[in-house]
Amino acid sequence: MHLTGRPAWIGHDPRVQALLEAIDEHGLTWEDVADDVLPIFERARPFGHDLEPPAHAVVPPGITVGFGVDLGLAFARVASVHVEAWPIDLAGLTERALKNLRRRARRARDYDLVREPIGGVPTVAFQSRDGWASTAILVPEAIERLFGPGPALFIAPSRDLLVGLPDDVDLEFATWLTEEFEATDPNALRLEGFEWRDGVVRCRPLARDAVAV
CA-wise closest residue to 30 among 74, 84, 99: 84
* Residues 137-148, mean pLDDT to the nearest whole number: 94
Cα atoms in the Cβ-side hemisphere of radius 13 Å centred on 21: 7
In the structure, what pLDDT confidence band is assigned to residue 163 with cuts at 50, 70 and 90?
very high
- 164 sits in which H/E element: strand 161-166
**C-alpha to C-alpha distance for 6 and 115, rounded to whole angstroms:** 24
- Per the CB < 8 A criterion, the answer to whether 98 and 138 are in contact is yes
Question: With left for phi above 0 and alpha for psi between -120 and 50, is residue 208 left, alpha or beta?
Answer: alpha
How deeply is 101 buried, as exposed, middle or buried, from its count of CB atoms within 10 A (0-12, 13-18, 19+)? buried
pTM to 2 decimals? 0.84
- Percent of the chain topping pLDDT 90: 64
**What average pLDDT does this structure show over 68-72?**
83
pLDDT of 210 higher than 60: no
- The C-alpha atoms of residue 152 and residue 129 are separated, in whole angstroms, by 23
E strands, 37-159, in order: 37-40, 57-59, 63-70, 75-77, 113-115, 124-126, 152-158
